[in-house]
Each structure stands twice: as C-alpha cells, then as structure tokens.
Chains A and B, each alone.
Chain A
Amino acid sequence: MSDPELSTSTALAPESGAAQATTRRMVLNMGPQHPSTHGVLRIVLELDGEIVRKAGPEIGFLHTGIEKQAEALNWQQVVTLTDRMDYLSNLGNNLAYALPVEKLLQIEIPPQAQWMRVLLTELSRINSHAVWLGTHALDLGAMTVYFYCFREREDILRIFELFSGQRMMTSYIRIGGLALEPPRGWQQAVRKFIDALPSKIDEYEDLLNANPIFLRRVQGVGHLPLERLLALGVTGPMIRAAGLKWDIRKAEPYSSYEKFDFEIPVYQESDVWARYRVRLEEMRQSCRIVRQALDGMPEGPWKADAPHVVLPDREKMKTQMEALIYHFKIVTEGFRVPAGEAYVPTESPRGEIGFYVVSDGTSKPLRVFMRTPSFGNLQALPALFEGNLVADSVAALGSMDFVLGDVDR
C-alpha cells in the first residue's frame, strides 16, 4: 500500500473530479492453493480496481500422465486409472472407457448389466451435483447447504461401498459388464435413498431460492452467449443453461438410455443462476431414472457371454478345464482387442466425456485419448472473468463445475 500509484487504482476515486492519476493494473495470483479454485488451479488475474481485465488460468499441477500410464497397462487395468481422473463421477468414467473397448471387441452387454450401469452412473451424477452444490454455495457464503449436500453424498458413497467395497475408486463397471454380482439388499438401499431424495432437493431449494444474498450473487453473473460457449468447446449443464437442448443421453443414447423416460432441463439466461437450476433439475431427473431402473431391472446375467474377455465364475474354474485356461490367460496376459479405433461420447455430470481408444491388436492400448469435459469447460474461464468484478469471479468459477483431476489427467 505504500506505492501511491497502486493505491489510487484500488481506492475509490475522489469525487472532486481531480485529474485522473494514471492507473496501474494490479496482478493478483489466485491459487494454486486457494479454497475456491476447488483443486490446484492457478489463475493470474490482472485487475483494474475491482474489475478483472485479464485472467490467465494455469493448469497442469495435477498432471499425472494417466494417458501415458494407460499405454503400459492392459485393457482391463486401465479402468482403475479412469476412476482417478474425475473423482466425483468415477462410475461415469468407467462406463465411458468400457463402451469404446466393448465396441472394438464387439461384445454384447446383457440388459441387467446395462441397466445397472445406468443406475450407478445416475447415482454418481447425483453425487457429483450434490458436491458441486455444497461447495458452490459455500463459496457464496451459504454454509448450511454444504452439510446438507454432504449428508446425501455420504448415503450415495455407502451405496457404492455396498456394491464394490470402495467408496470412491470403485472400478465397478468393467469391460464386459460389472466387476461383481450386485450385492444382496441393494434394492432396499437404493430405494430408501431415492425415496428420500426429492424432499432433500426441496430442502436445498428452500435454503437458497429465497436467499437474497445468494440470489444477488448468482443472477445475471457469469453470462456468456451460446455461440461463444460452443466455440470454446464447453459442454454439459453450461450449454443447457444457455438454451440449447442437447444431452448426449438423448442425442446419442448409450447403455440403453433410450429406454428411460426423462426430461432435459433447459434455461435461457446462461448465468450462474440458470446453471444452478439446470443442475438441481438434473438431480430430480436422475432420481427419476434411478427409480425406473430400480423398478424395471431386467433379470439375467450381469456380465457378457465372452469367455475370452470376462473372468470365469469361481465355481466353473474348479470344475472346467476351459474356464481355468481362460482365467490363466486373462490374468497373466490380458485379453487382446482387435486392431481399430473407437470413440463413444457419453454425458458425464460436467459434459461430454469420451475415450478415443486405439488398438493395434495386442493386450495393451496403443493410445487412450481422454476427452474430458472439465478441460473443455475450463477454456471458457477467461471469457467468464474478463470485464467482471473480482467478487463475481468466484461465483462464475464455481458455476463451471470442473474437477482438476479431470482437467490435468
């Protein structure tokens, strides 16, 4: 503050209309360790008083070379890496990876496995949106919502633990079906949660929708027109909050999404408030999908009839020669995937996630390109920040809902 030039730019200008001092821009470093950046993201802000003139995001602090690592593992092992990218939507990532590999292998996934995949990815969508809502509201000063959301998240993680034995790094969706048989009593656990959820979403709305502080901080903030968002490569709820009715689950259905009845929420305003409402509505729609999956869950096997890919049952291994041979081959070498390339886009809680897998016919991938939604969405950050108030930047940042593990990989 001892620098006179710097203080004139930050203090209020005198009302006497004295000759304007030459203002100097202040460079402010936000992150990489900052609670509102939700991970290790560094943003270099150039401020002119309270206005952000330039914002330069710097990423890569969480880069762990997952794409490189994938080339050294066999096809099935890569599933565990996908868990660690977007750590709020692990099952969605598992599914996005399994689909193109299954496309190359040309194996049919039985209906029960497909429906179970839908059910679990929708639960992880609710989980992801709950975490987003809690932390976003916390950034904007509404602390209570955080505890409410994490209460629901805890319930979902217990369900995941019931299924897979793991709370977060589940790796439950595998190439060829599911990792384990669905556990006893899963229907009751899911139904108990899903019956209670709508009233809990009402609770969030009660806390926020009439909260004048929250409303003033989100309405009209962080606006970007749809054309700009599309040009920047943004996907997911941000696009739907800008008025485009586009959801990959409807447009290019995968894993029997075409059999489910749900709406795509669309709002026109393209501000933080619209994004908030889109995500809340998506939680209700996910709830509907989970209920349909629960009620109509088909009977049958939970893994594909493809002995060269899927591990055999324990019982068969002890009685059948072939099963033992397949088990030995899959465990020691891994299965081979026919040479080719495939890409299957899916809708993650954040937007389009897809894995471009390239196989050269061996048991390890030649290349796995991870098209992650957070990476594309984060490119819109300078456009959202520049020309707006510093205080609004945190609201705009939160509304993008990125996960740095997903950005840096």
Chain B
Amino acid sequence: MEAWNHEAFTGWSTELGEALAWVRPEKIVDLCRYLHDEQGFERLSGVTAIDRYPLEPRFEVLYLLHSISRNLRLKLKVALPGSDPVVPTVTTVWEGANWYERETFDLFGVRFEGHPNLKRLLLPEDWEGHPLRRDFPVHGHKYSYQNE
C-alpha cells in the first residue's frame, strides 16, 4: 500500500499488532477512496479525534477502517493544528461517516470540509464550546469559583 503513493503518508507504525498510518490531510479522501475501492476496506468503523493539548499539532483525527473480506483492520491518522482544524470529509467514500464526523465536529470543533450537513449532533445547537477538548472543564462549566 505504501507503494501506491508515498506522498500521502508521513509515517507508518505497528504497535501491539495494530497498523497505523499517518496521512496528509489533503490526501485523505484519495487514500480512502483507493482503500475502499481496491483494497477491500468496505467498512469505516468510526471517526474520532484525540486532543493533544497543549502540544502542536494539537488534534489527531482518527479513522478506524475494517475489511471484512480480508479480516484486516487499519488505523489512519491526520494531524491538524489547534488554530483552524480542517480536514476534507470522507462521506463521499463511506456514507456512514456522516454522523461520526458530525460528532467529532460537535465535541472537538474539527471541521470537515464538504460535509453535507455539518451541524451539532449530540449537543444543543446553541451550545458554546466543544466539550471533548482538553481545555474544556469537566465540572463548573461557565462558572468561576476562584473569586468566591
């Protein structure tokens, strides 16, 4: 697979038996299309993000791919900066990416460019902030207890 396009990858590793490839954000759709059409990865198990705050690049968008026919799993990761995290959508490849990307947008604030309906999914539409970011407090949201 690496031979397909070296430029798409920035890294490659296998830890605890799980294969992981780091992908450039602009190449993710092409790569997913290739994996889906020619490598038999017919399922997208999930999309989510990991917040490495305060490190940079802050966000890692994670794609869990699965091929039932080859009984193979593959993780793809895209590193995104904290200031303006944007990555192209893969809903054109797997329809089911829709809600996963919406959830990631909702909870992390990562924008998926070209997504058909990028609105908040789990939280109310007027919610402020993205709760799964590491700098969002678990308790005491909107309240400061320091002056009391």
A interface residues, Cβ below 8 angstroms from B: 59-60, 63, 65, 67-69, 71-72, 103-104, 228, 230-234, 244, 246, 251-252, 340-343, 345, 352, 354, 356, 358, 366-367, 369, 371, 375-376, 378-379, 408-409
Contacts and interface: CB of A to CB of B under 8 A. Distances in A.
A105 to B, nearest CB: 11
Contacts of A63: 122-123
B131 A376 contact: no
Contacts of B123: 60, 63
Given A233-B94, A343-B64, A354-B45, 10 more contacts: A60-B120, A60-B123, A68-B132, A71-B134, A72-B139, A233-B95, A233-B100, A343-B18, A379-B95, A379-B99
Contacts of A343: 18, 64, 73, 75
A60 B122 contact: yes
A378 B131 CA distance: 23
A230 B99 CA distance: 15
A230 B131 contact: no
A233 B68 contact: no
B26 to A, nearest CB: 24
Contact of B138 (A72, A104, A358): A72
A367 B122 contact: no
Interface in B11-51: 15-16, 18, 20, 42-46, 48, 50-51
5 contacts: A68-B131, A343-B75, A375-B103, A376-B96, A379-B96
Interface in B90-118: 94-100, 103, 107
Contact of B44 (A60, A69, A233, A252): A233
B66 to A, nearest CB: 8
A251 B71 CA distance: 7
A69 to B, nearest CB: 7
B98 A369 contact: no
A297 B53 CA distance: 46
B15 A340 contact: yes
A123 to B, nearest CB: 26
A344 to B, nearest CB: 9
- The SS class assigned to the A binding surface is mixed
Contact of A342 (B16, B44, B45): B16
Interface string B117-136: 00011111000000110101
Nearest to B43: A230
B62 interface: yes
B145 to A, nearest CB: 16
A359 to B, nearest CB: 11
A246 B68 contact: yes
Nearest to B36: A231
- Which among B20, B50, B75 has the highest number of chain A CB atoms within 10 Å? B50
Interface in B65-96: 66, 68, 71, 73, 75, 94-96
Contacts of B96: 231-234, 376, 379
Nearest to B46: A371
Contacts of B62: 356, 369
Nearest to B131: A68
A231 B94 contact: yes
Contact of A341 (B15, B43, B98, B121): B15
A345 B73 contact: yes
Contacts of B50: 358, 366-367, 369
Nearest to A371: B46
Contacts of B103: 375
Given A59-B122, A63-B123, A375 B73 contact: no
Nearest to B104: A369
A231 B91 CA distance: 10
A340 B18 CA distance: 11
A354 B124 CA distance: 26
B73 A379 contact: no
B131 A369 contact: no
A129 B18 CA distance: 32
B64 A371 contact: yes
Nearest to A250: B71
A375 B64 CA distance: 15
